[in-house]
Homo-oligomer: A and B are copies of this chain.
């Protein structure tokens, strides 16, 4: 079980969100940095494909901007322009500052780096975390297996 998501700010959302807001749906959290090449080339485009593939009532996608290096280069001002230019319209949480270079949620969740994709089931339990790249077909299957838990699990 992971702790709550700690955001200092939300973009693409008119209010702060919490993990509980997504209970009942499968939740995909794409953890990224806007200047991380693997996030730009693989992670974020894949997150957008998830949005296009699954029904909104079954699967929610959010981003978590977890900056652990070049902090001055990836401020919310820059992030906002980045999201606009890359047509990313799902909600993005700015991970709150931590006690060191690593932001608070990233540290609490024990993440290794970016991009990392986490899958939460309809009860809000973490069921998978992928650091780096993961093929679309297997990821699509994995998300669908969580979607299909609907009836039995709730």
Contacts and interface: CB of A to CB of B under 8 A. Distances in A.
Interface string A67-85: 0011011100110111011
A113 B142 CA distance: 31
What does DSSP make chain A's interface, helix, strand, loop or mixed? helix
Chain A contact residues (Cβ within 8 angstroms of B): what range?
A: 35 or more
Contacts of A69: 81
Contact of A53 (B73, B141, B143): B141
Interface stretch (A99-107, A118-126, A131-139): A131-139
A137 B37 contact: no
Given A137-B139, A144-B145, A81 B74 contact: yes
A84 B74 CA distance: 13
A50 B102 CA distance: 36
11 contacts: A35-B78, A35-B82, A37-B86, A70-B85, A72-B78, A135-B136, A136-B140, A138-B140, A141-B147, A145-B148, A148-B148
